[in-house]
C-alpha cells in the first residue's frame, strides 16, 4: 500500500539555523509533491509545489528538493525563526491530480 | 478574497442528531474537498467535488452525506454519527486539480457524544 513517512519525532532547532525536514514515500509515483504548514487547530497552508521533473524549488527562505529515484523530498527552512514553529506536512498527488495523500507531518520547534 | 470559511467552528452532537457543516469560497475555484483530521494525524480525504459533481468518495460511511448546491458552497450532512467520528473537519478548494494550491478553511471541531 502507499506509504508516506515524515520525521516522526519533533525537530528542535536553534533560531538562525537551517531546519531540514524529510518526506519519504513507497509504493507510489507522484507527479507532484507539495509542502504545507499547519498550526494547532487550523487548516493547512500551502507553501511550495514541486513537480516530478524538477529537482529543486525555492521561495524566500524555503527550499524543496525532490528525488524520484530515492523517493524522497527534503524541505529546508534557512535562518529559522520562532515564528516558523509549526507542523509541516508533505502531500503527494498522482497525475489525475484530485486525490491528495498527506504525510503525518513533522512538528518543528525553533528556540529563540 | 482568498479565504475559505467554515461554520460552525465547534459542534457537539449526540449520536441521534442530524447536523450540517457548511463551507464557502468566493475564489471561483471549481474543485472543493472535505477532509477529516484526528489529533496528531494527517488530513484524510473524504470527498472531492469537481464542477459541482461528486468526483471522489473515499469509501466514506453513508452517515456522512456531502452536497454541493453551487460552485461556492459545500455542505456535509451528518446523521447517526459515532463517537469515533469526533475530529476536525476541514474544507478546501483549488483552482483545477488538487496539485494546485489548496486553500483550507479553519475547520469545524466536531464532538460526538
| pLDDT tens for each residue of A25-78 | 998 888 889 999 999 989 999 999 999 899 999 999 999 999 999 999 999 999
Mean pLDDT over B6-26 rounds to 95
pLDDT > 90 fraction of chain A, expressed in percent and rounded = 74
| pLDDT tens for each residue of B45-99 | 999 999 999 999 999 999 999 999 998 999 999 999 999 999 999 999 998 776 6
Q: Does residue A27 have a cis bond before it (omega within 30 degrees)?
A: no
Beta strand A72-77 with A62-67: parallel, antiparallel or unpaired?
A: antiparallel
Predicted pLDDT of residue A97: 66
Closest chain B residue by Cα to residue A96: B97
pLDDT, averaged across chain A: 92
Q: Is B99 on the interface with A (CB under 8 A)?
A: yes
Q: Is A40 on the interface with B (CB under 8 A)?
A: no
Predicted pLDDT of residue B44: 95
Instruction: Examine the pLDDT at B38 and tell me if it is beyond 90.
Output: yes
At residue B51, the 3 state secondary structure works out as coil
Task: Give the position of cell 483549488.
Answer: B94
Nearest neighbour of B48 by CB, restricted to A34, A49, A98: A98
Identify each DSSP E strand in A1-112 by its residue range: 3-6, 11-14, 19-26, 32-38, 45-51, 56-59, 62-67, 72-77, 86-93, 100-102, 106-111
Instruction: Examine the pLDDT at B109 and tell me if it is beyond 80.
Output: yes
Q: Residues of A with CB below 8 A from B40's CB?
A: 104
Amino acid at each position: 500500500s502507499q506509504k508516506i513517512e515524515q520525521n516522526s519525532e519533533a525537530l528542535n532547532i536553534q533560531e538562525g539555523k537551517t531546519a531540514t525536514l524529510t518526506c519519504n514515500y513507497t509504493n507510489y509515483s507522484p507527479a507532484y509533491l507539495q509542502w504545507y504548514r499547519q498550526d494547532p487547530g487550523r487548516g493547512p497552508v500551502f507553501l511550495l509545489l514541486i513537480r516530478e521533473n524538477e529537482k529543486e524549488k525555492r521561495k524566500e527562505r524555503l527550499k524543496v528538493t525532490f528525488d524520484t529515484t530515492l523517493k524522497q523530498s527534503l524541505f529546508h527552512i534557512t535562518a529559522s525563526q520562532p515564528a516558523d514553529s509549526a507542523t509541516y506536512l508533505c502531500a503527494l498527488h498522482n497525475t489525475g491530480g484530485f486525490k491528495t495523500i498527506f504525510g503525518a507531518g513533522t512538528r518543528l520547534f525553533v528556540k529563540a | 478574497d482568498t479565504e475559505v470559511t467554515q461554520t460552525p467552528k465547534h459542534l457537539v452532537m449526540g449520536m441521534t442528531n442530524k447536523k450540517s457543516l457548511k463551507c464557502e469560497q468566493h475564489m471561483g475555484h471549481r474543485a472543493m474537498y472535505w477532509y477529516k483530521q484526528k489529533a496528531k494525524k494527517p488530513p484524510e480525504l473524504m470527498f472531492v467535488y469537481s464542477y459541482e459533481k461528486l468526483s471522489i468518495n473515499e469509501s466514506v460511511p453513508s452517515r456522512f452525506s456531502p452536497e454541493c448546491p453551487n460552485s461556492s458552497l459545500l455542505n456535509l450532512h451528518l446523521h447517526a454519527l459515532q463517537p469515533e467520528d469526533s475530529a476536525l473537519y476541514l474544507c478546501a478548494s483549488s483552482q483545477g486539480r488538487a496539485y494546485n494550491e489548496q486553500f483550507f478553511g479553519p475547520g469545524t471541531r466536531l464532538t460526538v457524544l
